[in-house]
Amino acid sequence: MFRSARQLVSALALTVGVALFVITIVRSGFDETIQSVGRLGFAFPALLLPSACWHLLRTWGWSVAFPDDTRPAFTRLFRVRLAADAISFFTIRGLTGEPLKVMLLYDRASPPVVAAAITLERLAFAIMSLVIAGIVSYVAVRRLAMPGAWDVVFTLLSMATVIALAVLAEVARHRKGDYLGRLVTRLGALVGRPLETSRVVKFVLDVEDILLDLLRGDRRRLIILTVLPVVCYLLTAFEVWLVLWVIGEPIGVTAALAIDTFARLGSVASAAIPAGIGALEASNAAPVAMLGLGGGGVLALIRRVRALLWAGAGLALYPRIKPKQPTPKQLTA
């Protein structure tokens, strides 16, 4: 029996993932995939270069998101990022990795500052990735020959992008004041007591204040956080193109972007599945088959191996937290 709803959800997600894994392997053709893998040879290390550049650029983006006077060392951020991603990879993505980053940087920066930097970097990459995905979907529907169901998927993604940009534009119009702070004040007036006294609410409001200061401050920071997601998106699409090119299934830029876009969508939808088992394979192999190409199984396998290698690196580089030294005031208290 399951002791909690979380265990039940994890078990169901894992069951779905295993089912997707089996279906993907059967449909991709196990023998054909093994033969294609054999063609990789010494090219395999080169296939890891796009992901290595991606991790370095994401770490740089996170570093830029910190205030200039409280920015931890790049090497520390890189280790923390890999470690948090590794733990998140084997559990529920986002729910474990992001809080762990705050904890692993407890001795380097205050939790509200770290949380604000995480939020800013995540927002920048999420918004820009959604914009690019919408553009790619729009182009894919018009330039690629896809079955009707795939046309619907990419059309809906384009519509979601337009709605998200409209909401963002409305928020961006207001350059002064806060948002959560005003909401908390109004809710406090309704319930008849100040909600700001709660530690959790105070922490969230502190994070919002720091985040808004970062957003409304250095323009260079915003430019970098706008350009980096585009570069990272192109890197993952290049990885798709490179894998298929090596095994003798060359594709165009639009096809590579479309395959990577669907793989990203599958990654988000399968966040509850530990290690993305099955979902990672299906979301990479399915769009390749949709375009009438071979090599979907190889692409899924390469990305699975790549994910496991980086997760292993994250566990190997797991940083230690140094205890905070007491201040002179605390020593004399």
Instruction: Tell me the pLDDT tens digit for each residue of 283-300.
Output: 888 888 888 887 888 888
Q: What is the distance of C-alpha 206 from the center of its chain? A: 24
Mean pLDDT of 270-281: 72
User: How far is the C-alpha of 162 from the C-alpha of 157, rounded, in Å?
Assistant: 9
Q: Examine residue 197 and state whether it is found in any structural domain, yes or no.
A: no
For 159-188, what is each residue's pLDDT tens digit? 877 887 776 666 555 555 566 666 767 777
Q: Examine residue 190 and state whether it is found in any structural domain, yes or no.
A: no
User: How far is the C-alpha of 298 from the C-alpha of 133, rounded, in Å?
Assistant: 23
* Most confident segment among 18-27, 34-43, 173-182, 245-254: 245-254
Number of folded domains that form the chain: 1
Mean pLDDT of 93-114: 84
Mean pLDDT of 24-50: 71
Q: Examine residue 205 and state whether it is found in any structural domain, yes or no.
A: no
Q: Examine residue 166 and state whether it is found in any structural domain, yes or no.
A: yes
User: How far is the C-alpha of 73 from the C-alpha of 65, rounded, in Å?
Assistant: 13
Mean pLDDT of 254-275: 81
- 257-293 residues labelled b (16+ CB within 10 A) or e (exposed): bbbbbbbbbbbeebebbebbbbbbbbbbbbbbebbeb
Q: Examine residue 199 and state whether it is found in any structural domain, yes or no.
A: no
User: How far is the C-alpha of 231 from the C-alpha of 197, rounded, in Å?
Assistant: 42
* Most confident segment among 157-171, 204-218, 311-325: 311-325
Q: Which amino acid is at 311?
A: A
Q: Which of 46-60, 191-205, 249-263, 305-319 has the lowest mean pLDDT?
A: 191-205
Please, is 84 exposed, middle or buried when counting C-beta atoms within 10 Å of its C-beta (0-12, 13-18, 19+)?
Answer: buried
**Residue with structure tokens 């995540």?**
122
Percent of the chain at pLDDT exceeding 90: 21
Q: Examine residue 89 and state whether it is found in any structural domain, yes or no.
A: yes
Contact 207, 65 (CB under 8 A): no
Q: Examine residue 12 and state whether it is found in any structural domain, yes or no.
A: yes
Question: Angle at the Cα of 60 (from 246 to 91), degrees rounded to 5?
Answer: 70
Q: Examine residue 304 and state whether it is found in any structural domain, yes or no.
A: yes
Q: What is the distance of C-alpha 50 from the center of its chain? A: 16
Report pLDDT for 11. Answer: 58
Is residue 333 predicted with pLDDT exceeding 50?
A: no
Instruction: Tell me which residue range forms the domain holding 14.
Output: 5-175+216-320
User: How far is the C-alpha of 30 from the C-alpha of 18, rounded, in Å?
Assistant: 16
